[in-house]
Structure 1
Amino acid sequence: MEGVPERFDSPRDRAEFLRPAHRAGVELYRAAIVDCAFEPHGHDAYGFGVIDQGVERFRLRGAEHLAPVDTLVAMQPEDLHTGRAETPQGWSYRMVYLDEDLLRGLGGGAAWRFDEALIRDPRTVAPVSALMHRLWRAAEQGAEPLAFDSLLVELVEHLRPHARDAGVPREACAAARFRPVMELMRARLDEPLTLDELAAAAGLSPFHFLRSFRREHHATPQQMLMALRLLEAKRRIAAGEPLAQVAAATGLADQAHLTRAFSRRYGVTPARYRQQLQQSGTRPRRHA
């Protein structure tokens, strides 16, 4: 698309998304990053990632973490996080994103929670790493749906011992006071929001609200609002909406603003993300 870059600013960074054509709720991602520093962002899915090379530094749930080779990162839906290289050589990694409803089905019906952001047990990391390679290859080559789904179940079985059942619906885990704030943000992604409006929704004074929100979500209200805007933009891009329309619907100034904000959080431009999803959805299926 004219005027929209297809890659990172740095030629040393690259990333790719892939979705299996038959299974909604699964997104695969792989990247090698040297120069890019990802801004705070979230995903509307569980995210599991294996570090193949180098070391990543990221902030998640209010703490800084270092993820070296052969560690597994576990993130819950809408966990805001950053990411950057800790070493001059950068880091490479692979991710599997699973929608919450899909993981509930695969894992036996209960919502999962991970108390630790990093899993280091080689008895888990090694097979999960191998399964991520096989899942990518299966999706890329258009393997039979049964073969892909069997790998997915095996992956979840390896992750299950490190999770605990949430016991209550995920929305009940957040402080009840901030539910109206999040609902207001989602309802008005395309409109400016003031501190006074958000504080009123929480029933707090403006500066008490700022302090309390950051303590609860480990992010400022503006960071959360941008993360929600980009999540909605990602959904609309995947659905095929024109990029200028996506920008307007999510409160971004224009298509260029969308491109910059999206790239800084997901590692690819909106145009490239759409192209990758279209390519993965049209690959011919191969039978063993």
Structure 2
Amino acid sequence: MLESIMTNAMFLDQNNWLSRTDTMHGIERIEAFFQGNAYGMHRHDTYAIGCTMAGVQAFQYRGAHRQSLPGHTMVLHPDEAHDGQAGTDDGFHYRMIYVNPALIQEVLGGLELPYIEGGITQSQRLLVAAKAMLDNQHGPTNSIEETDAIVELALALLAEAGCTRGQRARDFHSTKLAHDFLCDVWQSIISMDDLSVVTGRDRWSLSRDFRMFYGTSPSRFLILRKLDAARQRMLSGASLADAAASTGFADQAHMTRHFTQTFGISPGRWLRMMRFRTSAPSGAKTFKT
């Protein structure tokens, strides 16, 4: 039988629940059961890698309707729009990890981020690598075992992606300088001219390479860092308006628009999910595997 992370479970209603671990060392884990619609169209700057444990997990991805079944591995590329809903009335149960592309780059050392066409694969190697991460329900430990698991995941992604995109000469070193600079100064007002000074690169080639190595643009990378900080402030008790103001958004509506586009739900609903930690109501439905 599946042992869920039920101590941190958020029961959304009598049928739907979601459980998560905090983001640590570039990885966040969730486990959930949904009937009907789960998420609206959204995109984030992490890989979303997961397995459907039971049921049919449906989603729109790159202009097509996809369905994931038990035994499949979902690999959604950073910054690609997608949604989520049950493919049948029975609902679906799944596990997902959100992996910072910079963590994959630590392994690949400047290769283009692996891209899995269609977002679903039946690769046995990738399934095993993903489950090694998904089944670690206590989160990253920064141990030798955890490092080995991340390396194997990156190499499995690379093997499954193959050489689907043309390789051109790129400057990973200067792009990493831009990435690290943005991580350090995300609260400041940053321009592409600032990044050009830091890296010695022109804005156009730097922006192109940043997308290739880290999966999104420098501007969206900054927005996501602000959203990460806003989520932490909300969890610490700040109002939505205060969280928006303290993380550099123009106002609450500005933050809400970016939040919904990134996570597929409004910040208000997300906060209710995070705060509603209680025992399962009678009749709550879940699959056992």
Same fold (TM over 0.5): yes
Q: In structure 2, what is the equivalent of residue 236 of structure 1?
A: 229
1:159 aligns with 2:157: yes
**Partners in 1 of 2:223 and 2:269 — Cα distance?**
13
**Partners in 1 of 2:34 and 2:68 — Cα distance?**
14
Kept in 2: contact 1:17–1:28 (CA 8 A)? yes
1:10 aligns with 2:27: no
**Partners in 2 of 1:71 and 1:57 — Cα distance?**
12
**Partners in 1 of 2:80 and 2:70 — Cα distance?**
22
For 1:30-69, list aligned pairs within 5 A: 30-69=31-70
- CA 257–160 in structure 1, closer or farther in 2 if over 3 Å, else same: closer
Q: In structure 2, what is the equivalent of residue 100 of structure 1?
A: 101
- Alignment counterpart, residue 242 of structure 2, candidates 242, 245, 254: 245
- Alignment counterpart, residue 120 of structure 2, candidates 111, 118, 121: 118
**SS in structure 2 at match of 1:240:** helix
CA shift at 1:62, angstroms?
A: 1.1
CA shift at 1:41, angstroms?
A: 0.7
- CA 250–84 in structure 1, closer or farther in 2 if over 3 Å, else same: farther
**Partners in 1 of 2:31 and 2:43 — Cα distance?**
17
The letter of the residue matching 1:50 is C
1:72 aligns with 2:73: yes
Unaligned runs of 5+ in 1: 1-5, 170-186, 188-226, 277-288
For 1:124-135, list aligned pairs within 5 A: 124-125=126-127, 127-135=128-136
Q: In structure 2, what is the equivalent of residue 26 of structure 1?
A: 27
Deviations 1:36-60, CA, capped at 9 Å, x for gaps = 4310111111121111111111001
TM-score (norm: length of structure 2): 0.59
Q: Superposition RMSD on alpha carbons, in Å?
A: 3.9
Aligned length: 210
Report the identity percentage.
Answer: 22
**Partners in 2 of 1:122 and 1:245 — Cα distance?**
46
The letter of the residue matching 2:78 is P
Deviations 1:186-207, CA, capped at 9 Å, x for gaps = x9xxxxxxxxxxxxxxxxxxxx
- CA 147–256 in structure 1, closer or farther in 2 if over 3 Å, else same: same
**SS in structure 2 at match of 1:70:** coil
Deviations 1:239-272, CA, capped at 9 Å, x for gaps = 4363322345265449999998867379972365
**Partners in 2 of 1:144 and 1:155 — Cα distance?**
15
